[in-house]
Every structure is written in C-alpha cells, then in structure tokens.
Structure 1
Amino acid sequence: MSSNIAAQVKSLTESVVKEILNNESPSVEQCLEILTSVQSTIAPDHETKSVILIVSIRILEESKLGKMITKSLKHLRRHKRSSESDGDSTAVATWNQCIAIADKILISLREQVAAESGQRKAKKVAVAKAESFQPGLPKTSGAYKERLRVQKKEMYKDPPAMPPAQIKIEEEWVGEPSRDEETGEMKFIPGSDSSAKLKEFLKDFCPNRSPKEILNFGAFGGTYYRPIVSAVTNIKYKSSDVLKNSVQKEWIEGLDHKTMLTSLTYQASVNKFKVKCGGSLGMWESSGWISDSDPYGWFQWYCRFYQGRRCGDDERQVSRWLKSAGPKGRFRSQLCNKIFAAGGFSHVNSVRISPVIRQTLLHWGLEITETVLRKHGIRVGKL
C-alpha cells in the first residue's frame, strides 16, 4: 500500500512540475485535472473532519510534493491575472478552482504531517512509560526522563543525560589502601582489569579521609544511606541492605543511624562544618553521574573501592575526584587560594573560610591540611 501511494505521489509531483511549474502556457483544464488527481489521492475524504493518514512524512520528504504545490500557487495566481487581463472569465473561474484545490491540498498535507507527528510522539511516550516501570538501565532518554518524572526527582538536566552503560565488577578484590601515617594520604592499587589510564590516575588519587572518618565526622546531612528508588536501576533500596553491602560494620559502630546515616531529612547540623552542600539524587541522576553499580553515587563507590572492589567505573569515578579534589581540582584549588589570601598556614583549619567548600571536599574524602596547602602553594608559585 505504502509503495503504491509513494509511486502515485511521485508521478503526480512530476506532473505538477512539468505542467504547472515548467510550462509557460499551461492548459487551465489540465492543471485542474492534475490538482484534482492529487487531492483525490492524498485526501479522498477531504470533506470529512477526520484526518486520514494517506501520505507519510517520509513520502512527502522524498517526493517534495508539498514544496511543489506551494510553488505552483504562485504560478496559478499569475496565470489567473493573465486571464483577468484577457477578460476570459471562464478561465479565471477555473484558475480560482485550481488555487482553491491547491490550498486544500496544502492544508490536508499539514494536517497529515501533524497527525503522524502526534502519533509518533504518543508512541514514544507510551514506550517510555512502559520502559519506565521495568528494572534495569533505561534504554532511551525518554524512558529515563519518565522514570525521573514518576519518581518526582529533580530534573537538573532536561532531557537527562543517560547513565553509564552497565558496569562490570571484577571478581577478585584487592587489599585496602596503604596510608601515610603523617599526612593521612592514601594510595590505592589497581585491579587486574584496570586500564592504563586508571593506573596513571591513581598516582594522583590520594584522599586523606577514609569512608569511616567521613561518616563519623558528619556528612551528607545524615541522609546518604536513606532508602531510595533509583532512576538508574529502577529498583527500590532499603537502608539496611545497602549499608550491609557498602560499608564495614565497624565504620558505623556507635553512630545514630537515623540521624547520621539514613535520615529522610537533610540536617546541616549533622555535618562537620554545620552547613548544607551538595545536590539532590535527581540532580546527580539527570546529569548522568550515577551508575548501576553504585546507585547512591560517588561516596558509595568510594566505600567499595576503599574495601578493594574494582570495576569498570573506577576510571570515571577517579577522574571525577581529580577534577574536584585532586591536585588541580577546582574545589581544592579554590579553598587553598582562599586560605593563602587569609594569611596562609595559620588559617589552614579556620572553619570561617569557606565552610561549604570544606564540607564538599570532605564528601570527596579530602580535608585541607598543611601538607595539602603546601603542595598547592608550590604548584601555583605561592611558596
């Protein structure tokens, strides 16, 4: 059916071009016959109010029928004026018929294009809604957006950035990092499948605060391991289950879980520096930062990486740390510069200097110490 219509439309378009556009003295009767044929082909029920899809957008794009009919209107009106000048009222009436039919053809084509576009959009929405209820990574941006909408998440990016592809977890875990007793900085070893780039990144990946220290100092407003529904995996997570497979039991001994770990309400008073910082889960998800291996985010990844798990997401996550808290990281550099501006080493622990950045860096596993400040000063020429 579609191929027959396509052939007819192509033939009719060629007739429009030949007899109307490229003919200096066309027969008004022949023009009327061609346009009537076009109308009967693309809109056999043009007298009804319903829009029947006869010609697809693809056929219109290939044949350029709409474009040719639009051009033909200019020619039809010119020929009508010539007939008016000649005083041929019969020809004028017929040219008016041609113009009216051409107008109706264009209206019909616009309606059919709009109807098909609407059907395509409705189909995409239906598919996205169906996919939004299925567990696993979203297949399309539309399905991901629908998940975020249904879960009433913040849409920081619209359309949302897709999450990373499914992450492969290495079977063999490595040991915990070594730690410099004086500086507190840690060194991590790569896994057997780690990329060359990750191995290079790890040379500068030196957090000086462990997951245990971060949680015990006070972080994330006490909400990090609250129960969530992940838009990335479309799975509901319970705090008790996630804590078991993310942190070591001794890390959180003595902590009030409801206040320090699983609170549903962000409380700045819980944080070490008594300020609020960071974005929502929806912001992280819609930005494409969350993977299926660690649906809670970077800190969950850090907890597991610290314990020796290695996976295909390590390179990306370490890279994110380097950009934020690494030797040239934006937050680390900003805070160090502010400390130097305030007087240098005597202000290294002054909580009055950018407590929000200090809390942010703590979430990334870093606090500014004299060692960190000295390294920055040497790098930027302040020492």
Structure 2
Amino acid sequence: MTSEAQTTNTTTTTTAATRVRAYATFAESLVRVIVDETNPNPDRANDVLSALRGEWTETMRELSSSSSSSSASSTSIIELLGVTSIGVVLSRTVRSCKRHGRTSDERTKWDEAVRLAGIILSSMKEAAANEEKTARVAKKSSASSYETVGGGGVGVGAEGPPSSTADFRARLVRQGKELYKDPPSLPPPGGGRTVTVQSTIVSTPPTRNASTGGLTFVAGYDADENLRSLLLRDFHPNRTPEEVLRAGSFGGTYFRAITSAVTNVRYSSSSALDDTVDPDWIAGLDKSTMLASSVYRPSINKYGVKCGGSLGMWESSGWISDADPYGWFQWYCRFYAGRRCSDDARQIGRWMGVAGRRGRFRSQLCNRIIAAKATANDASISPVIRQTLLPIGDWKLPRTCSTGTRGDEKMDERER
C-alpha cells in the first residue's frame, strides 16, 4: 500500500469513528434532555435537534462526496443507525415531544421540536432505504460475488452460522435488521456449529385425537428419551401446517424472500416454499397475498389483527437455527412431514412455553375468557393472543371456562 493510500484509509477510518461518536453523543443528549427529563426545556430540546440536523446534513454531504470520489466510508448509513441507535432514539423523541406539548404552556415550541425530529428521522430512513437499494443493485450486477447453494439460496459472503457474537452482530447490522437483543444471542446450537439433520425421514404420519384434535408424532430412529417423552406426553398441537396457512396467518408474509443473518444466505420465496411446503397444502391459495407477500396485511389473518415480531428480533434473540432460517413454523412444517433433527427438542420446548398445557399465552387467553365470563370461541376476547397462537398449532379451548379457577388449571383438568 502506498503512503498516499495509507493516509487516505486512515483518514476515512478516523472520520467514520468520529461520526459514530458524534451520533452516539446526540442519542445520549436526546434521551437526557427530552426523553427521560420530567420537566424538559423546549428551547434546549430545539437546540439539540437543530445541531443534530446540521450534523446530519454534513454527514450526507461527506458521504455523497466520498461516493463520487470512489473512496469508501468504513461506516455505512445503515451501520451508523444500528450502532448508535439514533433512529430509535429519534422515534422516542418524537413521541416524547408530543407528550410534553400536550401539557405545556409552550406548545408551539414543542411542535417545532416534533417537526425537526420528524424531518431528521424521515431523512435518515430515506437514506438507509436508498443505501439498501443501491446495495441490492450492486449485488445483482456482480454475480461473481454470489454462490448458488442448495434450495435456491444465494450466498452473501461466507455462508453458515456466525462463529462469534461480533460476527453475528455485524451481519445483523449489515442487513439492516432489528437488534432486539444487543449483543445478540448466537443461533443454536452455538459456536458456529450446525444443526444435525437425520438422513432417514419418519414415514409414519401423525395421528389425531378425535376429541381434542391434538396431533401425536413419532420420534426419529435415534431420538433420546427426553424427546420421546416430550412427543408422547406434551407436544400435541391441534393444527396441521396446511390448516394454519389456510386459516390465514403471518399477514401473508411468511414465505417472502429473506436474507438470513443466521446462514448468511438469501432465500427466494419460491425456494422456501419448494423446500418447506407440500404443494397440496397450499393448492388454490394466492401465493402473492397469502404466503409470500412483502407487505403484512392484518386482513389476511384469521382474527384480522397484526401480531409477531421482525426477523431481526427472532434472529438476535437466538431463536432461529441454520436448519430452519425462517423460524419455528418452517421447522414445524418439516417436522410434520417427517424430518427429524437435533433441534427438535428445543423447538418443542419453545412451543410448550407459549402454547403447551401451561404455556403463558394459552394461560393468558383462558384467564381472560374466565374474567370476561365468556365462551372460549368468543373471538372478541384477546384476538391478538389468538392470532399469535394460531401459527403454532393452538390448543382447542373448551366451549366454556368456569370462574374461580386459573384458566390453565381449569383447561388442564378438562383435557385429562
């Protein structure tokens, strides 16, 4: 590397580091002066926001200049927003300014603060969206930087699970994902290891209880006793994958194209459907609205409400493995079809925690039914919880729930 190149690289790195520190400081100031302050000063709030707007304008000018001169900044807009959380803080700032304005004699000043914060936030979102779009175009035009992998995925850099928390966080930030947990939890089983999938498919289909609708599954040939016990005693979802999809779930978006931070591979909707779903399960369904929509539509859902978190939330929480990069429902589809893997016990444990006999969502729903003295099929009681339970094969509730008994206990009693 020449001396001139070394100087340029050092200057770029220094500028990027300075920029990160500046926005981190602004984020701290906004929280201190506006968000967490019980008696905030609107003049001080506007001063901070005006300074931030000036800094953002200068940042955009510098990045534009760097782009036109073909010198790369070591911190992209998406990374800057992710590392400093300035976008999240600005969203909180807008809400706080509105709240302060409703109870203040200086409403006009708080309205100005809302306007300034909104302008900056909108500009940041637009810049991040443009950067992501530019990156997608660049990737498409540079086919040599991709590798086609099994299932129709397209690799972006090194494939496979992240080897460290730092590596995983960098992937999430680079992909513009939500860091629900920061630092993120490594995907199971952890340490860069992959899930082991059995080569033999279980050919025995699940059986169904005629009374409860609950399904009972057969364990794989090398399943341990713990898994066998879970399957026989506790894991009895009452909806098949086909029933979940036909009922209306995930706002119609589950099998959209995604880029996985767990595997570092981009999956098309067609490859995800081909690798996960039996064609008979989705025959007659409109894929563009019911299965692979890029837009979440609550109207698609059985209960007409929105629920669930982002892919980044699931990934950063350590809930998604490399075997099923779309998440729990993809695992369930494959498990239902006979695949068995080393991740089965964990996934069944997750189901038990929310929808099992004492699962928290199931218990909450039954307790609310009891409190309202309603029947179990009254969809006006907690439609969001009902929709949350639907994709994971919710239990059928008894037609009535007696008062005076905790919902989960009463339901357990009726199921025995």
Superposition pairs for residues 1-383 of structure 1, below 5 Å?
133-165=157-189, 166-174=194-202, 175-202=204-231, 203-344=233-374, 347-370=375-398, 376-378=408-410
One-letter code of the match for 1:167? V
Give per-residue Cα distances to partners, 1:9-49, cap 9 Å, x unaligned: xxxxxxxxxxxxxxxxxxxxxxxxxxxxxxxxxxxxxxxxx
In 2: Cα distance, 1:382 partner to 1:245 partner: 38
**Partners in 2 of 1:253 and 1:379 — Cα distance?**
35
8 Å contact from structure 1 (residues 132, 144) kept in 2: no
Q: Are the aligned partners of 2:398 and 2:411 in contact in 1 as well (CA < 8 Å)?
A: no
Q: How far apart are the structure 1 equivalents of 2:177 and 2:408?
A: 38
Superposed CA RMSD: 2.4
1:195 Cα offset (Å)? 1.9
AA aligned to 1:133 is: G
CA contact (8 A) 2:397 2:411 kept: no
- What SS does the aligned partner of 2:354 have? helix
* 8 Å contact kept, 2:213–2:396: no
Distance 1:173 1:310, change over 3 A: same
Q: How has the CA–CA distance of structure 1 residues 317 and 373 changed in structure 2, closer, same or farther, with 3 Å as cutoff?
A: farther
- Cα distance in 1 for partners of 2:260, 2:384 equals 27
Amino acid at match of 2:309: G
Alpha-carbon shift at residue 338 of structure 1 (Å)? 1.1
AA in 2 matched with 1:338: R
| Structure 1 contact 132–143 (Cα < 8 Å) conserved | no
The share of aligned pairs that are identical, in percent, is: 51
Q: In the TM superposition, what whole-angstrom CA distance separates every residue of 1:84-115 from its partner, at most 9, and x where no partner exists?
A: xxxxxxxxxxxxxxxxxxxxxxxxxxxxxxxx
Unpaired runs of 5+ residues, structure 2, are 1-74, 80-154
| C-alpha separation in 2, matches of 1:320 and 1:373 | 26
* Aligned residue identity for 1:251: W
Change (3 A) 1:156 1:218: same
Q: Secondary structure at the match of 1:212?
A: helix
SS in 1 for 2:262: coil
Show the counterpart of 1:95. none
Q: Classify the secondary structure of the residue corresponding to 1:164.
A: coil
Letter in structure 1 aligned against 2:162: P
Distance 1:250 1:373 in 2: 36
Structure 1 range deviating more: 177-186 or 274-283: 177-186
Using structure 2 for the length normalisation, give the TM-score.
0.58
Separation (CA, whole Å) in 1 of partners of 2:390 and 2:360: 14
- Shift of the alpha carbon at 1:180? 1.5
Count of residue pairs the alignment pairs up: 253
* Equivalent residue letter for 1:297: G
Structure 1 CA distance for aligned equivalents of residues 242 and 414 of structure 2: 33
Rounded Cα–Cα distance in structure 2 between residues aligned with 1:272 and 1:334 = 19
Question: Contact 1:132–1:138 at 8 Å: present in 2 too?
Answer: no
Q: 1:373 to 1:213 in 2, by over 3 A?
A: farther
CA distance in 2, matches of 1:147, 1:331: 31
Cα deviation code 1:283-332 (max 9, x no counterpart):
00000000000000000000000011100000000000000100010001
Q: Which amino acid aligns with 1:190?
A: A
Instruction: Please identify the structure whose Cα radius of gyration is greater.
Output: 1
Maintained 8 Å contact 2:376/2:399: no
Determine the C-alpha separation between the residues in 1 that align with 2:161 and 2:373. Answer: 50
- One-letter code of the match for 1:155? L
Distance 1:162 1:132, change over 3 A: farther
Counterpart CA distance in 2 for 1:366 and 1:287 is 23
